[in-house]
Amino acid sequence: MSNIGIQARPRDFAARETVRRRTFSTIWNRELHAVFRDVAPYYDVASNVASLGLCALWQRRFLSMINIRPGEQALDLCAGTNAVGMGLLARQPAARVISLDRSPSMQAVGQGLARARGLEVTGTIGDAHHLPFADASFDVVTLQFASRHLAIIDVFHEVRRVLRPGGRFFHCDMLRPGNAAVETLYAAYLKACVAGTALLFGSGPEARSCRDYFVEAIRLFYTPDELALLLAEVGFDDVSFETAPGQILAAHRAVKV
């Protein structure tokens, strides 16, 4: 577990966020809606096939990091098929979980999965950049496998706003490796696996056309260390994280003071 101390020097992330917005805003606001509508029925299986099981492994590891107590209220952002929300309720049935996602198609799948398991995840369609919740509403907020598709500084500010004092934020995503050689190999693998997975599952043209985007989204994103510094700069405290080999993926924890 790595920790960010008070002597860590904050970096200027605003310039990178400007580049990310300029590069990806059309894809974020238009094309990804069609992509997730297309892949929703097989999203979980395809993600595990493309990652050679790494996504499922880290989802379990991510859930093991999340401490949630009876009666607490959790918000699962960009919830997709409700995997995190269901995992939280399986561990702590006395908690309340609200899921939020922009994709009605992904949430339709997620709500069906929750009902099949006898779990109640309260679904909300909405935008993580503008959360439809009052200040200090939640004890726990989670965000998994979505940050690359977001204006992440805005989202982190919203997360901090809706957390109660002492509330915990848990984040997990594919990140940019800190090593250039690993990044090059990682990009080559992503291109190949996205194309192969699209062919295997019969993805539509929207998903196939985003192959290069998924690589660029990683290239312009943050390393695990940078993301921890960004969380501290936004105002979170007690930031820590764990990484997969090669730092291609990490899970972060932060607290609102």
User: CA nearest 47: which of 29, 59, 37, 64?
Assistant: 59
Q: Nearest-5° angle of CA 19, CA 125, CA 257?
A: 65
What is the bridge-based pairing of β-strands 73-77 and 138-144? parallel
CATH architecture of 10-255: 3-Layer(aba) Sandwich (3.40)
Q: Which residues contact 243 (CB under 8 A, 6 or more apart)?
A: 2, 224, 249, 250
Q: Please state which of the ranges 82-86, 129-133, 183-187, 231-235 shows the lowest mean pLDDT.
A: 183-187
| pLDDT score at 11 | 62
Span 19-48, average pLDDT: 92
- Tell me whether strands 73-77 and 237-243 are parallel, antiparallel or unpaired: unpaired
Sign of the alpha-carbon torsion through 10, 11, 13, 15: positive
The chain-wide mean pLDDT, for the chain, equals 92
Instruction: Please enumerate in sequence order all residues whose Cβ is within 8 A of that of 127, keeping only pairs 6 or more positions apart, or say none.
Output: 102
* 44-to-54, 92, 134, 184, 194 alpha-carbon distances in Å: 12, 23, 31, 26, 14
Q: Residue 209 above 90 pLDDT?
A: no
Contact 95, 69 (CB under 8 A): yes
* pLDDT at res. 8: 42
Is 137's pLDDT higher than 60? yes
What is the per-residue pLDDT for 231? 97
Mean pLDDT calculated for residue range 176-201: 88
- Phi, psi for 172 (deg, rounded to 5): -145, 130
SS3 110: helix
The top-scoring range by mean pLDDT among 26-40, 53-67, 113-127 is 113-127
For residue 226, pLDDT beyond 90: yes
DSSP class per residue in 131-200: -SS-TT-EEEEEEES-GGGS-HHHHHHHHHHHEEEEEEEEEEEE---SSHHHHHHHHHHHHHHHHHHHHH
pLDDT at 198: 82
What pLDDT, on a 0 to 100 scale, did the predictor assign at position 3? 52
**161 pLDDT more than 50:** yes
Residue 202 has pLDDT above 70, yes or no: yes
Distance of CA 29 to the CA centre of its chain: 17
Residue 136 in this model has a pLDDT that exceeds 90: yes
Q: In the predicted model, is pLDDT for residue 4 greater than 60?
A: no
Q: Cβ contacts of residue 36 below 8 Å, gap of 6+?
A: 43, 80, 103, 105, 106
State whether residue 223 is helix, strand or coil: coil
What is the model's pLDDT at position 67? 94
pLDDT given at position 204: 81
Residues 138-159 have a mean pLDDT of 97
pLDDT of 110 = 97
Its sign, for the CA torsion 230, 122, 149, 127, is: negative
Domain edges within the chain: 10-255
If you compute the radius of gyration of the chain from its CA atoms, what whole number of angstroms results?
A: 17
pLDDT at 125: 97
Give residue-wise pLDDT tens across range 48-97.
888 888 889 999 999 999 999 999 999 999 999 999 999 999 999 999 99
Does residue 205 carry a pLDDT above 90? no
